[in-house]
Structure 1
Amino acid sequence: MSTEHHFPELFGAATGVGSMPGTDAREAAKTATGALEQLPHLPELPARGPGADMIGRSAGLLVELFAQTEPSGWRFTDRPGRDTRRAASWIGEDLDALEEFTQGHRGALKLQAVGPWTLAAAIELKHGEKALADPGACRDLADSLTEGLRRHLADVRRRVPGAEVVLQLDEPSLPAVLVGSVRTASGFQRLRAVDRQVAEETLRSIVRALDAPVVVHSCAPGVPLPLLRRAGVAGISLDFGLLTERDDDDLGEAVEGGTVILAGVVPSSGTGLSDPAGSVQGVRKLWHRLGLDPELLGRRVLVTPTCGLAGASPAYARSALSQSVKAARSLADNPE
């Protein structure tokens, strides 16, 4: 399935998922741009606290919708407050650091933001229930996010004029949204499943409205690969260890249709960083099992760490990104 905005032509490339450890934006940007030459990304530093977490950070991108922290989490409010200003300030700090370390950069650059369904599953309406329970609120949230992302992309392009921007929408809650397993704000019940056609159309509307290829990332089991392809995404990012044989056919069709797969295979914690080639052995085995052209491996698969790198040490994070680059080169140089 073709997409309106295609993923950049890369070969043997790696990138990060998004979150990094620590609180130093300059150090994180230096690491991401230094280690990931083909596809650096804008680091996110959730350790800084509310507003730097994935939900608060993306809530800060919304246009004419504002959110603040409550004991239960994030909740919409009538006017911008301290939490909104803090989120905007940290994004600005991150972009300043990225701009500093991408002087003269020409090529792909990845940004991340939380997608509409995960935001709706996390942010509460003013009366206390999650936005996911209200179809009208979901539509308003998607529209606000779309406009906020347009502005965010434009800001990055002003700062890094040579960038070929890729946007990653983080949707870890999407599988739960589709099967009705998202808990209510009280935690005692579950919200009704969102119709798959509605979920698909919402994502499609965002993909079509943005002047950049869109990747959807989900680190949960049961990523809806066919739905994402129909929505027009250019790439799908997932934790490779969560795939099952039930996903084989859908993954094969995605690859043959031109979708780029960002495979989370390098451990984000522990000690499994000794063998770059071993990290991608599961990818090779899947390729062989599906009968896919080995020559496509280096072009259709990018290597990433698994989710959770924010919980690692800065030294481990640097090693994981370097390992991802080595693993991606191994996959491209030795596809068989």
Structure 2
Amino acid sequence: MSTRTIRPGRPAKRAGSLKGLLFFFLLGSVLFFLLKDDPPSVLKPAAPYIAEKYQKGQVATEQEFDTFNEAKAFLADERGAIKRTEDDRYVYLTGPGIGIVDPGGTLNIYQDESLKKRLTYVASGSRLTLRDFGPDVSRIEIAGVSGFVASDRLTLYPVEQSTNRSFYERTGDTLRHYIVANAGLGGWITVGRAPKDVSKRTTDYVEVSTLTKNLRKPTPLSAKELDAFIKNNAPDSPLIGTGKTFKKVERDFDINAAYLLAHAIHESNYGRSTIAREKFNLFGVNATDIAPGQNATAYKSLDDSIRKTGQFIARDYLAPDGKYHRGPFLGNKAKGMNVFYASDPYWSEKIAGILYKMDAF
């Protein structure tokens, strides 16, 4: 009896298997040629400081450094600046620049580098002209005053990186001030009659004659003329009809009624501000920068506000022996009422512009 060996049959070929191998082979080949010359990439962290050297108002060279002292040595005595890489904030200047007052309340300006005798103060967001920078104390100018401030309260910019700057511009006989500032302090205002020696445009501080007018002298404007000015500019103003009160306060306390009205118009938007409506406070008395509505003084009526504030200003600001007397005029941050009445460096200019429109002097 013969025996037959049964051999197992060959498995059927799968067409899909060969195609899959071919696909992965081609894919691997492509990736090999694309990546064979590229070494593994490791991003180098940015250096902490960048030093910039300036020539002819532009960045001539810049270089990264691991330490501040290295960056400072690179600048030596050349015109330049250093900024931090992490936030692009300038921390060192070798020449003039701009210093913006950081948030955190008003900034005191002092007479000398010891920062002991205060000259005046300015609001957060004010832009100061930086004359000399120091790591602790810097010399600045703003609104007619020159003094010293704590450097750590300023955001610094070199002149070469400050393209947008405040300036005065003459239009016919009128002077306008285009103010660049933060925190709502910016915009343009009519200051008054342009001095004859002012050119078409200047970034230098300009003082108009209205700023030095004696506010203890009466205005030639009558009560009716004061009311007419209010009505012509704000027909819905609750101040219409208060002309008699302003003139009476003028007689009783030797304070110019037109100035007092212009002050009220500026601070209260013709008596329409929230503080004026809720507290009859027309002059921003005790309306501090931190909590103006909460801290503002409340009065019984508009007439009460005009009378009490007029008496207070005449006594403490205009009288020679007054607590805040720096001259019986609006002034600026170096002299007059603006030294201590308001943190806005150009508060006096805004009131002077209203008086100019009123033709009060």
TM-score, normalised by the number of residues in structure 1? 0.23
Tell me: higher relative CO, structure 1 or 2? Use CA pairs within 8 A at least 6 residues apart: 1
TM-score, normalised by the number of residues in structure 2? 0.21
- The structure where helix makes up a greater share of residues is 1
